[in-house]
Amino acid sequence: MKARFIDKRTSIPYTLVGDYYLSWGDLPDDDSEVKSIGVWGQRRKQYLKNHRKGLYAKLLASGKLNNHLAEIDQQAQEMFSQLVYEMAENEGVTEKLKSLHQMEWVGRMNSIRERARKIVDSELIRTKVRAAVRRCTVALYLLISRA
């Protein structure tokens, strides 16, 4: 089976995805434009497959799934890093603590990372509305400042 072909009758390009040929009008010609997907993008993909099947099928059929996942992955990674940094700063988890009490530092950082993961997961990965991404910055700032 060919990975790609163009229907001579309709001039529509098709690409083999699994066992099916899907039309891909805006698929890049080479693999250099395909963005890599990290852990956050994979989590979003699993969420879409299991809970938002219609949206998943729409994104897959339109050829926009990879770009969507790459965008979510980038946003989630930035949000996660910023949250961890701000939470650690607010809770006094510093390099000094790391050098003096390593196990306490590890425990506190693990707690911070887990809380940040849950926030990112609920705000970006499992969200139904993209506007929630914009709202979460304000909500997270308020949450962090209260801690």
pLDDT recorded at residue 77: 94
Q: What is the pLDDT of residue 5?
A: 79
pLDDT of the residue at 32: 44
In whole angstroms, what is the distance from residue 61 CA to residue 21 CA? 10
pLDDT in tens, 1-43: 677 777 778 777 878 777 777 776 544 445 445 678 899 999 9
**Run of H or E including 104:** helix 102-120
pLDDT above 90 covers a percentage of the chain that reads 46
Whether the predicted pLDDT of 64 surpasses 60: yes
Q: What is the pLDDT of residue 74?
A: 93
**What is the arrangement of strands in the sheet containing 20-23, beginning at the earlier edge strand?**
4-6, 13-17, 20-23
Task: Give the least confident one: 15-19, 63-67, 96-100, 110-114.
Answer: 15-19
Name 4's Cβ contacts closer than 8 Å, sequence gap at least 6. Answer: 13, 14, 15, 16, 27
The residue-averaged pLDDT of 94-105 equals 94
What per-residue confidence (pLDDT) applies to 80?
A: 95
| Alpha carbon distance 120, 127 (integer Å) | 10
- What residues have CB less than 8 Å from 35, skipping those under 6 apart? 66, 67, 69, 70
Contact 119, 127 (CB under 8 A): no
Instruction: Give the per-residue pLDDT at 119.
Output: 92
Report the amino acid identity of residue 147: A
